Amino acid sequence: MLTFKIFFTRQGHFLVLLIGLLIANLAQAAGLLTPSDGSLPPLNLKSQQVTVVIEDGYAVTTVDQVFHNPHSRDLEAIYSFPVPEHGAVGEFTMWIDGKPVTGEVLEKQEARRIYEDEKKAGRDAGLTEKDSYKTFDISVAPVRAGAETRTRLVYYQTATVDTGIGRYVYPLEEGGVDEQKLAFWTANPKVSGSFSFDVHLKSGYPVDAVRLPNQGQAQVTQVGPGEWKVHLGSQKAGGPVAEGSKAPAASFNPQQPAESAITLDKDIVVYWRHQDGLPGSVDLVTYKPDAGKRGTFMLTVTPGDDLKPITEGSDWIFVLDISGSMQGKYATLADGVQRALGKLRANDRFRIILFNERSRELTQGYVAATPEAVQQYSAELARIQPNNGTNLYAGLELGLDALEADRTSAIVLVTDGVANVGETAQRKFIELIKRKDTRLFTFIMGNSANRPLLETMTRASGGFAVSISSSDDIVGQLLTAVSKVGHTALHGVEVKINGVKTADIVPKEIGSLYRGQQLVLLGHYWGDGPAKVELSGRISGEAKTYRSQFDFPAKTQAHPELERLWAYGAIRDLQEEMEDFGEKADLKRAATDLALEYGLVTEYTSMIVLREEQFAAHNIQRSNQARVAVEQAAQQQRSASAPVSRRVDSQQPMYSSSRASHSGSGAIDGWTVLLLIGLLLAARRQRPAA
């Protein structure tokens, strides 16, 4: 897991290069956990079936799996997998006596206590917990000797489109950031039986291609202009295309040999590309089963492409992580930086700062980017051996101190996101960022990164964050970032809704919108009828306002999942406040109450499955079971319908221009593209006027 951050100074322009290929192979993976000391025999993950439905701005992922105990005694199964980006677990079901039993959410300590009591008594029980930002951990007991236990997990995520490209990641690679956990457990990522991964994409806008990088056996089928299906399985893909479907010729997926076994150690990434020339738009999805009560809405704004390109040169400051956690990754890091240095222009300068448990400068001041200097410092970088802890704060501080106020400057910070030495408090990082007039652009590489810290720093600086998987099309991801930093941005974004009562909108602070980015807001509304919506901000200090008017419906029942998505967003806002200012009892209570009401697994709550009579014995209400039943009924009804456009501003468009998009795609050598684009684009730091 690597994290890439880019800082821009007040005058700053930045030339993007080579970040994307600083990727290392990750040894850890999702899988069944067994104590490393061999005190317990391993179980088998017999099968895993993953079903993903992406529709109306969000994704529903269902993971159905079977654990098998080949031994002569009952055992506990513990399955761990990386937390999906902004994924909210809302269902955990376990089959008991051949029947599915849906879990209920309790406070974390209470859920663990009840699970241990039930396990000790020999009764069937299951538990899903969240280990901070790192993993979801599923415990099931007992898996009977010689028998199997089936479970189902469902989680929800918003599904945005960036510069015309949608992206979904099924995370499997473990980040390797929890040293104590890695020392205690051994993960078995093998699926002994069958594995399948199916995606049903239903878009209200035309989709002209779907792609799964490095999955040559994936079967991609177009059903209609905005409807596609993807299948990937442990058996060889192929066979007849479903009747009524179009041939998969429009997919742009490379063909590779099939693998003989399924190992859950590589993320599965799915891209979809919208047709070029689509208009900027506003989409509205709502859930309001009772016309006289409160409803929930998701408002998605896809801006028109009216942000102008900007160019200029810059000084370079490389801040490189050489801590022990970078072993196995550093050679790739050093090679990438060496190639980057070799592409700097003759009038560019650079500095190199290194950090592990302390920070130091390799270059001792700015160095002209001559061939001789590049060769010298490339050789010095290659000789370094990563070791010791990670003082991220010290490295970042020294990098920021190197900035010269009257120079066009850029900082590139390359790290695996682990801050375990020195200052680690999030608020201190925020204060550090705000000492300089900078923008931070963060590339979060790999799973189990400290995404809350990295995203909060990014937002505080007015920059943007991009998550990267080692299974991604790295060149494409970098090109998307290049298109952002090479254009002006809309800063200080605010949204006002009048005519219909709204409240509880999340996120509370929007910040900035960069080229191609969508804005997604969730909130509550009362009543119905026409609403005037106004989006405002500043571009290069100039005020800009975009307006539209459309109706909020009186009653809708198709999207009950919006309630969980809203609650997840509200909990995120509360957690960010606690990370910034310390954990306060009232904020923690508010986050816990939201998770309990809406049935979400969080740092404070877990989901437990018991035998039906034991729910009653522990006086646990079956509220999540009722919520899941409503969601399943809505999902079943939606599955039978064709894709529906949720655009609401057609009569009064918010934008007069088409949305930003990529034009074309193809197989291009990554190094060639990055070496070329590294010196093509620059980004001027535009601080919003007060």
Q: How much is the average pLDDT of 401-420?
A: 72
Give the CA angle between residues 117, 119, 123 to the nearest 5°: 105
Q: How much is the average pLDDT of 337-346?
A: 73
User: In 189-311, which ranges are E strands?
Assistant: 190-202, 207-211, 219-224, 227-233, 262-263, 268-274, 281-287, 295-302
> Which segment of 379-383, 480-484, 495-499, 524-528 scores lowest on mean pLDDT?
480-484
Can you give the pLDDT at residue 50? 95
What distance in Å separates the CA atoms of residue 352 and residue 346, rounded to the nearest whole number?
17
Beta pairing partners, 135: 82, 131
Categorize the per-residue pLDDT at 13 as very low, low, confident or very high, splitting at 50, 70 and 90. very low
Three-state SS across 630-677? Answer: HHHHHHHHHHCCCCCCCECCCCCCCCCCEECCCCCCCCCCHHHHHHHH
What distance in Å separates the CA atoms of residue 55 and residue 227, rounded to the nearest whole number?
10
In Å, the largest CA–CA distance within the chain is: 76
pLDDT at 239 over 50: no
Indicate the CATH number for domain 31-274.
2.60.40
pLDDT at 666 over 70: no
Q: How many residues does the chain have?
A: 690
Can you give the pLDDT at residue 447? 61
Cα 216 to Cα 24, 255, 421: the distances in Å are 21, 4, 42
pLDDT at 219 over 60: yes
Pick the CATH number of 3-25+309-488+661-677 from 3.30.540.10, 3.30.450.90, 3.40.50.410, 1.10.260.40: 3.40.50.410
Q: Where are the domains of the chain?
A: 3-25+309-488+661-677, 31-274
**Which residues fall within 8 angstroms of residue 504, CB to CB, at 6 or more apart?**
523, 524, 566, 570
Query: What phi and psi, each to the nearest 5 degrees, are found at residue 307?
Result: -95, 125
**Contact 565/58 with Cβ under 8 angstroms?**
yes
Categorize the per-residue pLDDT at 591 as very low, low, confident or very high, splitting at 50, 70 and 90. very high
pLDDT at 249 over 60: no
Q: How much is the average pLDDT of 570-598?
A: 90
What would the pLDDT profile of 86-133 be if each residue is shown by its tens digit?
899 999 999 999 999 999 999 999 999 999 999 999 999 999 999 877
What distance in Å separates the CA atoms of residue 563 and residue 522, rounded to the nearest whole number?
9
Coil vs helix vs strand at 247: coil
DSSP label of 344:
S
Categorize the per-residue pLDDT at 433 as very low, low, confident or very high, splitting at 50, 70 and 90. confident
Q: How much is the average pLDDT of 552-580?
A: 94
The two tokens of residue 168 are 């979904």
pLDDT at 545 over 60: yes
**Contact 568/600 with Cβ under 8 angstroms?**
yes
DSSP states along 133-186 = TTEEEEEEEEE-TT-EEEEEEEEEEE--EETTEEEEEE--B-----HHHHHHEE
The two tokens of residue 513 are 């919108």
CA 638, 641, 643, 647 dihedral sign is negative
What distance in Å separates the CA atoms of residue 531 and residue 553, rounded to the nearest whole number?
10
What distance in Å separates the CA atoms of residue 405 and residue 401, rounded to the nearest whole number?
10
**Contact 45/22 with Cβ under 8 angstroms?**
no
Place of tokens 């931070």: 440
Mean pLDDT of the chain: 81
CB crowding 564-589: b at 16 or more within 10 Å, else e: bbbbbbbbbbbbbbbbeeeeeeebee
CA 324, 325, 331, 333 dihedral sign is negative
